[in-house]
Amino acid sequence: MWLKTIDVIIGFFSKVKTIYTVIQDSDFFKTFKEEITAIPIILLLFWFINHLLIVAFPNGAFFDFFSQMETIVSKIVLFVVALWTAHMALRISFPKVYKYLHDEFYHNFDLLSSDKKLDYAVKFILVFILTAGLVFRGGGAENPEVRKDLLQCLNSQLNVREIAPNRSPEIDLYLKTVGSQVGNPWCGAFVGSNLYWCNIPNPKSAWSPDYAKQQDIIWTYTNSHSLKPMPGDVVTFYFSNLGRVGHVGFYESTDKDGYFITIEGNTGGGLLNREGDGVYKKKRSPYQIHAISRYLKY
């Protein structure tokens, strides 16, 4: 059995080495070698700075690294698809224009004067920046005064941390309030108990899918007719490996870049999405969120 396992491991690394060799010898790698090499360095730098900020300011809202990487990759794919769609639309709808741009403009670009090259280069860069901005841009939200008490209550709990797995005096109280067994995962209990303490009707459950029922949902990323999220609304997160909603928290606000600021229990300050060690503020892309439910109706 051990020999078989070792053979599998050796085979895996052999395949990785082969793939790496093919990539290294490809024209794409040779052309964009500096850019490709910079990617892991940028990712490590982003993680390191984010981790330092989380340690220095535990009550601040910072990116969840892995979920943010998922969002960035998804947005890059969306950006590439948008460019490819525009390319195909031009090629199909205006074949003569495409042929001219491809045969005359592109292949004869080096023959243009320096001023012309600069003019076209600036215009193309601006178009790319505008396209990227439209793809990555999020929306805004209001901050009604009526929800102030709930937000104050939530912010006062940002120092809650586990002293044993899923245990602390505050966490035990969350679970007991919603009728769940002490020691269970508690993100749903954090939401249900805080709504209950503010006299807001809610599922009062530790089971996160209970907070994503259709009759309560007021916002989804794909629904253009969604209502604007408001402070105290409940955000839910879908996990494909579970096949269901697996995490829940509170929406607090939207920052100037369109990211949702949330307050979540049973999460981590940096690397964890669920089953974390405390109550934290998080900075979430709207793209990551499954749905937002509303229980505070006024």
Phi and psi (nearest 5°) for 260?
Answer: -85, 130
**pLDDT at residue 206, rounded to an integer:** 95
What pLDDT band is residue 142 in, cutting at 50, 70 and 90? Answer: very low
What pLDDT band is residue 123 in, cutting at 50, 70 and 90? Answer: confident
Query: Other C-beta atoms within 10 Å of 165: how many?
Result: 9
| Dist CA 289 CA 238 (whole Å) | 7
pLDDT digit string, tens, across residues 60-77: 656 666 656 666 777 777
Q: Which of 185-189, 270-274, 283-287 has the lowest mean pLDDT?
A: 270-274
Residue 158, amino acid: L
Looking up tokens 């709504």 gives 195
If we measure between CA atoms, which residue out of 234, 261, 54 comes closest to residue 138? Answer: 261
| Dist CA 5 CA 107 (whole Å) | 53
Angle between the N-to-C axes of helices 187-197 and 169-177, in degrees from 0 to 180, rounded to the nearest 10: 70
pLDDT at 237 exceeding the cut of 70: yes
Instruction: Specify burial of residue 168 (Cβ count, 10 A radius: 0-12, 13-18, 19+).
Output: middle
Residue 270, classed as helix, strand or coil, is coil
Angle between the N-to-C axes of helices 65-93 and 33-56, in degrees from 0 to 180, rounded to the nearest 10: 140
Residues facing 238 on adjacent strands: 245
pLDDT digit string, tens, across residues 2-55: 666 676 677 766 776 776 676 667 776 677 777 777 778 877 887 787 777 767
Phi and psi (nearest 5°) for 32?
Answer: -115, 35
| Dist CA 233 CA 124 (whole Å) | 41
